[in-house]
Amino acid sequence: MIVNVIGMGYIGLPTALMMASHGVNVVGTDYNKKLVKQLTENGKVFEEKGLSELFAAAVQSGIRFSSEYQKADIYIVSVPTPYLKKSRKIDPKYVIAACKSVLEICEDGAILVVESTISPGTIDHCVRPLIGDRQIRLAHAPERIIPGNMLHELVHNPRTIGADDRETAEIVRNLYASFCEAEIVLTDIRTAEMSKVVENTYRDINIAFANELTKICHEASMDVYEVIRIANRHPRVNILSPGPGVGGHCISVDPWFLVGDFPNLTQLIHSARNVNDSMPEYVYKRIREIMAEKAISSFSRVGLYGLTYKENVDDTRESPTLQLLDVLKHKEVDSAPVVYDPYIKDDMVPSQMYDLTEFLAKTDLVVLMVGHDEIKNNPECLSGKAVLDTRNVISLEGVYKL
Ligand SMILES: NC(=O)c1ccc[n+]([C@@H]2O[C@H](COP(=O)([O-])OP(=O)(O)OC[C@H]3O[C@@H](n4cnc5c(N)ncnc54)[C@H](O)[C@@H]3O)[C@@H](O)[C@H]2O)c1
């Protein structure tokens, strides 16, 4: 059996490596030729715990990379699924393009698995019509892994497989069971599509609740973390942690699919999205308050620590820091803040710095946007500075919180 995984990004690559290192004959395809060259020559393309070792094991087992689609028994499509800013609906163009390319090469009897997160009905509306009368079997196998702990979660997270018939579902389940040790639930395609989007929407709503509480507690001069800590003593309450916003390509995107498709039925989901999207503006207000209190007059003395959307990864997509820098573009600020992230070595934003000591020397107020271990394990380096800790990871005296 040959498996062709399409899209060698944050999800497709580790999935392909996992399968290959567990004895599956895998070809990883990406239309980005530079990426394929990099994979073929150097291996690892992004930071992730254990990825180098897994890569070596997969190469040992014979994984190949190509910019061409391959003749295979099973195709796994793991390409981006953004949303359209205007309609809030899914933008299925990458999935459609990838499926069309698969259909140009595959033989009847092949199974086409869409692993990308898609809005309920996407396979029916966008993929099924491409197949027409051909005997191609369809499945949806959404992914739940979190960057930073991907390889552990690939093995230990339960999964969902949606398919039109039991036989197809079982073939796909057996493929994932080559490396996944947790339960694999079989269902129909639409239920699999919906349950994945619902999972991320649930997270978004719960984060929004914590963020709204933060604003309320700040207004009431109360410590939100103490309130949450006490409330969570209730056996059926589990409030999440507030933060400077929601980034990444999942939680900040997938709820929009439901808002776009069901605009009259998604007041709660839509509000939650708005609350989370308002957090960078709220952080800006907190920075202004602290600058006034500490008599810091120039934004050039403000340092944003962290550019990624979560700790200890190098993924900056939709990150709260990038959102905050966007907010600043529309404000009257005398200059750009300095920005530093230990995981980002390329030029991304103005006034970016690459050395923690130099960054700290430039700042009077450090805004901790990401709780990377580097700073969590070394809080003393912040002493003597004003600090706004948006992640509640620093317990130094006098540190400002959200
Ligand atoms: N990143 C995550 O943490 C995460 C978690 C769960 C689910 N997902 C979902 O997984 C899917 C993939 O996300 P990702 O983060 O891996 O994206 P990514 O941007 O990291 O990778 C996508 C890759 O697909 C390639 N590609 C796009 N169209 C192609 C085509 N037609 N043919 C060949 N290659 C093509 C791109 O060049 C890119 O390398 C999305 O639907 C996302 O929502 C992501």
How many Å lie between the centroid of ligand 1 and the Cα of residue 390? 29
Marked catalytic residue, from 196, 217, 310, 401: 196
How many Å lie between the centroid of ligand 1 and the Cα of residue 164? 24
Check residue 75 and give its pLDDT.
Answer: 98
CA distance 253 to 236: 28
Check residue 122 and give its pLDDT.
Answer: 98
SS (H, E, C) 278-342: CHHHHHHHHHHHHHHHCCCCCHHHEEEECCCCCCCCCCCCCCHHHHHHHHHHCCCCCCCCEEECC
Which residue CA neighbors atom 7 of ligand 1 most closely? 143
Which of 4, 5, 11 best tests ligand 1's pocket when mutated (most atoms within 8 Å of CB)? 11
How many Å lie between the centroid of ligand 1 and the Cα of residue 93? 12
| Residue-range domains of the chain with CATH | 2-191 (3.40.50.720), 223-401 (3.40.50.720)
Which residue CA neighbors atom 24 of ligand 1 most closely? 7
Check residue 175 and give its pLDDT.
Answer: 98
Tell me, yes or no, if 89 is annotated catalytic.
no
How many Å lie between the centroid of ligand 1 and the Cα of residue 208? 26
Q: Is 247 in the pocket of ligand 1 (CB under 6 A)?
A: no
Check residue 45 and give its pLDDT.
Answer: 83
Q: Is 105 in the pocket of ligand 1 (CB under 6 A)?
A: no
Diameter of the chain by CA atoms? 71
pTM: 0.95
- Mind listing the pLDDT tens digit of every residue in the chain (402 residues)? 999 999 999 999 999 999 999 999 999 999 999 999 999 997 778 889 999 999 999 999 999 999 999 999 999 999 999 999 999 999 999 999 999 999 999 999 999 999 999 999 999 999 999 999 999 999 999 999 999 999 999 999 999 999 999 999 999 999 999 999 999 999 999 999 999 999 999 999 999 999 999 999 999 999 999 999 999 999 999 999 999 999 998 999 999 999 999 999 999 999 999 999 999 999 999 999 999 999 999 999 999 999 999 999 999 999 999 999 999 999 999 999 999 999 999 999 999 999 999 999 999 999 999 999 999 999 999 999 999 999 999 998 999 999
How many Å lie between the centroid of ligand 1 and the Cα of residue 99? 14
Check residue 1 and give its pLDDT.
Answer: 95
Which residue CA neighbors atom 26 of ligand 1 most closely? 7
CA distance 376 to 14: 27
Tell me, yes or no, if 345 is annotated catalytic.
no
